[in-house]
Amino acid sequence: MNKNFIITIGRQLGSGGRSIANLLAEHYSITAYDRKVIEMAAQESGLSTEFFENADEKKWHGFFHAIFSNRAAANALGSNENYLSNDALFKMQSDTIRDLAERESCIFVGRCADYILREHPRHINIFFTADLADRVRRVAQEKGITEAKALELIEKTDHSRADYYNYYSGKTWGAAESYDLCINTSHLGIEGTAEMLKNYIESRIKS
């Protein structure tokens, strides 16, 4: 039996999900994969990362938009072949995620990893939210932008993530029934939330 354990993280922008993933990865001496998955999928497929980035959850403003983005990317790269469908790119990325999960314990941030690894026997699926004021303040500080711009970015990014997740998983992004655990990081903060999760994770992976 595969003894690797997998943590998958969904998150609203500004909730601190990536920071918590990094803290947990450091604690368990494992890797937290985010954009690295795109780079690995591109390397394994022999395609440019631009193809994957245009179909990524951060830029996914709807299915048809993503299709045209990939067509534009293909034209920009001077490809004589038909543009790749988003589903084909998703499958390549999914194969990379499954291969990593088979080889090692790790954390995946976003990218529908909870759906892709839904049959993994030691898989913990977590979603992070936070109070909007905290999210706006965090994004504004991290990006060096005004709070008004931060709010605009939050709304746009969360919409893209929801479209991407709902399309590929058939579930509802951010809804409690889609996850094992949903947490508001405003209550305990980033480090406090990570500490609390250690007990939960360890109880799950020992079962």
C-alpha to C-alpha distances, 72 to 35, 92, 172, nearest whole angstrom: 21, 20, 29
Q: Which of 66-80, 102-116, 153-167 has the lowest mean pLDDT?
A: 66-80
Burial class (CB in 10 A: 0-12, 13-18, 19+), 184: middle
Tell me the domain boundaries of the chain: 6-205
Does the pTM exceed 0.75? Answer: yes
In CATH terms, the fold of domain 6-205 is Rossmann fold (3.40.50)
Residue pLDDT, tens place only, 59-97: 555 444 444 444 444 444 444 334 457 788 888 899 999
Structure tokens at 93: 């990325």
Question: Please, which pLDDT band fits residue 207 given cuts at 50, 70 and 90?
Answer: low
CA distance 140 to 150: 5
Residue pLDDT, tens place only, 32-54: 999 888 888 878 877 777 766 66
The residue written with tokens 């759906």 in the block is 115
The partner residues of 6 in beta bridges, in order of sequence, read 106, 123
